[in-house]
Amino acid sequence: MSASRTPCVAGNWKLHHGRAQATQLASALAQAPLAPSVEVVVAPVFTCLSAVNDALAPSHRIGLAAQHVHWEDEGAFTGEVGPAHLVDVGCTHGIVGHSERRQHFGDSDERVAKRVRALLQHHLKVILCVGETQQQRASGSYGDVLRQQIRAALAGCAPSAPNPSILVAYEPIWAIGTGLAATPEDAQEAHAIVRNALADTLGAEQAEISPILYGGSVKPENAQALTAQPDVDGALVGGASLRFESFTDIIAAVALNY
């Protein structure tokens, strides 16, 4: 929580909600009186991006994220979607480095770095996910893991001036979809590590303005306490973002801190 950062709540719909459900939820969000102090973003599946963009249009303030992006704009890359195509359907953000992509689809640090650069070149905001496994937490190596993920993803994109388009999500893998969120204190400790790594990689000014979201079993009940921590600037929400009530309750809970 800092005056120099805009808090953000982003909903990662993963492989859920077809066009009818996605547009219904997006329309309801677009008409809801969401707290103006919080940036709100939703990330539907690729095939729903265009329809969700239309459904969000009346709100003028809800961002649209892709859950993944290829680094090339065009070419012989069957099955991929590039950053120019995301711009074309109205995206404002892209999520990269999510642990599910790292785990199931072989996303390496090197590939994550290319995706980050591609999004920034197209003036899309990046939500860069980092996080440790249960084993890395238990062994105490999580600080090194987080520093390495930040350095690898961002070292090649040092902006000439602080760039408000760089957001990070700290998502401990053991907390994703498990119902076991990090405690606010553990989240704060990890977020401070991430912010220091940002400062080492991109400079202190960038670290100061980059929102760092917490992700991993965020619910209406824990969102306020987590985001009351000084380095926790919002939430990346999976399961609880799929329903209007729980997602808007999380946004309202986060807004209580701002």
Member of 45, 198, 239, 251 binding ligand PEP (CB under 6 A):
239
| Residues 10-69 interacting with ligand PEP (rule: CB under 6 A) | 12
Is 98 designated active site? yes
Three-state SS across 133-188? Answer: CHHHHHHCCHHHHHHHHHHHHHHHHCCCCCCCCEEEEECCHHHCCCCCCCCHHHHH
Is 16 designated active site? no
Q: Which is nearer to ligand PEP, 171 or 233 (CB)?
A: 171
# residues near ligand PEP by CB under 6 A = 13
- Report, in Å, the least distance between residue 242 CB and ligand PEP: 9
234 binds ligand PEP, rule: CB under 6 A: no
132 binds ligand PEP, rule: CB under 6 A: no
Catalytic residue, candidates 68, 70, 85, 98:
98
Write the binding mask 159 to 198 for ligand PEP: x where contact by CB under 6 A, - elsewhere.
------------x----xx---------------------
Q: Which residues are catalytic?
A: 98, 171
- Contact footprint for ligand PEP (CB under 6 A): 12, 171, 176-177, 215-218, 236-240
